[in-house]
């Protein structure tokens, strides 16, 4: 993390976040008009005889590049703005943009010219050739292979409605405000800093606190609340939040199936997987089925141990009469955590003391600097005014909590500018509720041959600091942060000609692999130690607050970096209850394939989606839900909160698991022996990350590994080979 003067003047200003609800919609209409003008111009001036990549595809690609500079940010406000008017306008703008995207993708006049250009078979550079072929294919996938008439019109209507559903579904999730009132006694066992941060009740709720379903409140409650009824209430509440999404989810599944059949596919999964690495649903089903078979015995074994632990725990607390032989969904996080504490002396609270958010991020950025040849310079105070296009530093962020970094190549890589990284790390009302990386501006090469640099944002929900304690991360949150930062780095270092292929714009069953591979650094002793710093060393205020609290029964300061014994206890737990964790991922993946592989359209229309979701969970993960208490399988609607399946991972959730095959192979083959090997890190940066989606992803893997990928490392890592 440098602050040298040579890194202080970026050649490109950061984006501004000064939009108003009115400007968002007006800017969107302006972008659409410009884009439509480009397409109209091509349709007017080019004929099938004069059609070529340069006359048809290139002007559209250049317009697409410029569009990304503004459009991504216009749609980003709905995920992060505190102003509901801005969020609503951002949502409206995204609808306009999506409608225009559908209109563009179904222009027969342009498709004929793209078709003519493809048939010319010109000699093009590989990335331009890929762009031409992908464009051509996307017109066909958007219905232009269907003869004009009622069927094609219906297809277009479906596309528009699916876009509306996607936007509304995510908006409902972002703005979800549910929760439950509890007394502090109900929440016995939940960490004190979580309970004291909750909203206090008044009137009839005097003496109670309001627990929401936001991650920093939900997960600690499911992990630590001793009262099983409280965990059940919280679990059930979370599975039944956002019920307005239930009909939207069903409608999306039915419409997708209809659209796929109009295009001549047997179902939506066949349509979606055709242009991914897996190519066919059969490949995916075989992979998931094989993994399920291999994991099932381990899952039952792990559950047996956890069940025994539950029985012992209830006996110790004099509650053995309440033990009914079941191991419930709302038991799992609690007993999983208890096992880690009891059998592996894994004290999550003590571990978190060594991962204050600010110093952990500095440690992570340092790892990325050393590995990839980067330099991160935080832009603060007067420097913000200097780089801001308006001269006002507050204009380059969307909220006062947001941090900005300018990112550069180090001297060995040529000291050039790379782009901007934004971190927005704490929850607030109306904000996107999970952890994700958002591209704000893509990189590309403009008409004059100059590089345009990217901007990327990490949006997370880690607990807020207090005057006495910084934001402290549990180890699993450290892994999440590293994972999302991995996507951010992919977004930053990508160097493609066209924004269409920039950064994480790869096929969905590869996109997680680079980030998943980087998670391994969170399980390496030297890296864990280098990331850790006890919070009492972060500032004098925290040091005295720590001593006042007589933390851990003693006021003498703990060691600055994490003791080896604690590091060892974290690493020893990496694969504890791993089979159950992966069976949970399999449940999501198999549910996703099941609902998108209907044998007929009637079968899809008749499908009982909530029941399917819960039945598959019981069959695959083996954990008991309310169905074992005689409530049937309709007790919850987890799919209504499952943003992935509406937000682009439809018939693609398996990608999290198949990406792990590639990530394990890359790590074991190249980095396992020496994770901080800078030479290999830079080779990885240039061979894998830089390419984005500009070449076939299998080719990228072969270039890096020197061979085709294999599943061996993945199964070995899971102890299944």
How do beta strands 374-378 and 436-441 pair?
Answer: unpaired
Element (H, E) at 543: helix 540-548
Residue 398 contacts residue 77 (beta carbons within 8 Å):
yes
Gap between the Cα atoms of 481 and 487, Å rounded: 10
SS3 state of residue 409? strand
Residue 694 contacts residue 499 (beta carbons within 8 Å):
no
Nearest to 482 by CA among 573, 643, 367, 372: 367
Spell out the residues 6+ positions from residue 131 whose beta carbon is closer than 8 angstroms to its own. Answer: 57, 61, 498, 500, 501
Say how many residues make up the chain. 721
Residue 178 contacts residue 214 (beta carbons within 8 Å):
no
What are the φ and ψ backbone dihedral angles of 326, each rounded to 5 degrees? -95, 150
Return the structure tokens found at 677: 């090997």
Nearest to 90 by CA among 99, 79, 98, 101: 79
Torsion-angle region of 511 (φ positive above 0: left; ψ -120 to 50: alpha; else: beta): alpha
Paired residues of 439 in beta bridges: 456
Residue 452 contacts residue 495 (beta carbons within 8 Å):
no
Angle subtended by helix axes 108-120 and 126-139, to nearest 10: 140
Give DSSP secondary structure letters for 641-700.
G-HHHHTT-TTTTTHHHHHHHHHHHHIIIIITT-TT-HHHHHHHIIIIITTTTSS-HHHH
Return the structure tokens found at 522: 């969170």
DSSP letter assigned to residue 57: I
What are the φ and ψ backbone dihedral angles of 381, each rounded to 5 degrees? 50, -130
Torsion sign, CA atoms 478, 480, 484, 487: positive
CB atoms closer than 10 angstroms to residue 45: 10
Please give, one letter per residue, the 3-state secondary structure of 493-543: HCCCCCHHHCCCCCCCCCCCHHHHHHHHHHHCHHHHHHHCCCHHHCCHHHH
Nearest to 655 by CA among 519, 537, 529, 506: 506
Spell out the residues 6+ positions from residue 171 whose beta carbon is closer than 8 angstroms to its own. Answer: 78, 87, 91
Residue 453 contacts residue 418 (beta carbons within 8 Å):
yes
Q: Where are the beta strands (DSSP E) in 163-265?
A: 179-182, 199-200, 209-212
Residue 302 contacts residue 589 (beta carbons within 8 Å):
no
Whether residue 484 lies in the annotated active site: yes
What are the φ and ψ backbone dihedral angles of 345, each rounded to 5 degrees? 35, 45
SS3 state of residue 624? strand
DSSP letter assigned to residue 325: S
Please give, one letter per residue, the 3-state secondary structure of 129-179: HHHHHHHHHHHHHHHHCCCCCHHHHHHHHHHHHHHHHHHHHHHHHHCCCCE
Residue 529 contacts residue 562 (beta carbons within 8 Å):
yes
Return the structure tokens found at 46: 């080019």
Residue 420 contacts residue 457 (beta carbons within 8 Å):
no
Rg (CA), the chain: 26
The number of C-alpha atoms within 13 Å of 676 and in the hemisphere containing its C-beta is 12
Gap between the Cα atoms of 180 and 210, Å rounded: 6
**From 176, 477, 484, 597, the catalytic residue:** 484
Active site residues: 484
């Amino acid at each position: 993390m440098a602050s040298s003067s040579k890194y202080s003047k970026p050649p490109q200003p950061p984006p501004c976040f000064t939009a108003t609800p009115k400007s968002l919609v007006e800017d969107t209409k302006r972008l659409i008009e410009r884009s439509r003008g480009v397409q109209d111009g091509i349709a007017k001036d080019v004929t099938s005889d004069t059609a070529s990549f340069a006359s048809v595809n290139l002007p559209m690609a250049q317009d697409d590049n410029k569009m990304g500079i503004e459009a991504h940010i216009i749609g980003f406000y709905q995920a992060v703005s505190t102003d509901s008017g801005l969020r609503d306008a951002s949502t409206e703008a995204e609808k306009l943009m999506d409608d225009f995207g559908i209109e563009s993708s179904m222009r027969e006049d342009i498709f004929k010219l793209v078709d003519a250009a493809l048939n010319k078979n010109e000699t093009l550079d590989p990335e331009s050739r890929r762009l031409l072929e992908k464009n051509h294919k996307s017109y066909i996938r958007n219905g232009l292979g269907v003869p004009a008439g009622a069927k094609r019109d219906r297809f277009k209507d479906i596309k528009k409605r699916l876009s509306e559903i996607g936007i509304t579904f995510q908006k409902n999730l972002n703005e979800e405000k549910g929760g439950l009132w509890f007394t502090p006694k109900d929440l016995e066992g939940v960490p004190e800093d979580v309970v004291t941060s909750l909203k206090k009740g008044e009137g009839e709720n005097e003496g109670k606190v309001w627990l929401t379903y936001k991650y920093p409140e939900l997960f600690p409650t499911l992990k630590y609340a001793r009262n099983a009824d409280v965990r059940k209430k919280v679990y059930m509440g979370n599975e039944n939040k956002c019920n307005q999404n239930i009909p939207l989810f069903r409608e999306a599944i039915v419409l997708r199936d209809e659209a796929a059949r109009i295009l001549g596919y047997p179902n939506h999964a066949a349509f979606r997987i055709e242009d991914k690495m897996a190519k066919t649903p059969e490949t995916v089903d075989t992979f998931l089925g094989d993994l399920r078979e291999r994991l099932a015995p381990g899952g039952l074994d792990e559950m047996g141990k956890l069940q025994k632990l539950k029985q012992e725990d209830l006996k110790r607390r004099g509650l053995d009469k309440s033990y009914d032989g079941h191991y419930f969904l709302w038991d799992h996080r609690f007993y999983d955590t208890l096992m880690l504490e009891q059998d592996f002396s894994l004290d999550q609270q003590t571990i978190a003391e060594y991962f204050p958010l600010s110093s952990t991020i500095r440690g992570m950025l340092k790892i990325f600097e050393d590995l990839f040849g980067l330099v991160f310079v935080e832009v603060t105070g007067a420097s913000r005014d200097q780089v801001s296009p308006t001269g006002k530093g507050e204009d380059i962020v969307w909220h006062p909590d947001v941090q900005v970094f300018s990112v550069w190549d180090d001297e060995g890589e040529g000291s050039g500018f790379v782009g901007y990284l934004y971190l927005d790390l704490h929850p607030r009302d109306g904000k996107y509720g999970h952890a994700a990386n958002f591209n704000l501006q893509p990189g590309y090469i403009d008409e004059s041959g100059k590089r345009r640099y990217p901007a990327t944002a990490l949006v997370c929900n880690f607990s807020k600091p207090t005057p006495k304690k910084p934001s402290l991360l549990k180890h699993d949150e450290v892994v999440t942060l590293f994972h999302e930062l991995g996507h951010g780095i992919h977004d930053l270092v990508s160097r493609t000609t066209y924004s269409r292929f920039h950064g994480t714009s790869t096929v969905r069953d590869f996109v997680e692999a680079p980030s998943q591979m980087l998670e391994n650094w969170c399980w390496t002793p030297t890296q864990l130690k280098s990331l850790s710093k006890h919070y009492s060393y972060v500032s004098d205020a925290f040091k005295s607050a720590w001593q006042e609290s007589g933390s851990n029964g003693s006021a003498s300061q703990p060691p600055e970096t994490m003791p080896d014994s604690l590091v060892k206890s974290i690493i020893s737990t990496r694969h504890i209850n791993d089979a159950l964790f992966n069976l949970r991922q399999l449940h999501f993946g198999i549910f996703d394939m099941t609902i998108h592989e209907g044998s007929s359209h009637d079968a899809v229309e008749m499908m009982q989606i909530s029941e399917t979701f819960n039945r598959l969970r019981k069959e695959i993960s083996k954990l008991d839900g309310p169905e074992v208490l005689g409530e049937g399988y309709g007790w919850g609607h987890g799919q209504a909160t499952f943003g992935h399946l509406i937000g682009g991972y439809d018939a693609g959730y398996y990608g999290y698991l198949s990406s792990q095959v590639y990530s394990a192979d890359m790590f074991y083959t190249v980095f396992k022996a020496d994770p901080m090997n800078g030479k290999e890190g830079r080779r990885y940066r240039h061979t894998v990350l830089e390419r984005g989606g500009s070449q076939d992803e299998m080719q990228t893997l072969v270039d890096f590994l020197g061979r085709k990928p294999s599943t061996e490392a993945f199964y070995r890592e899971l102890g299944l080979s």
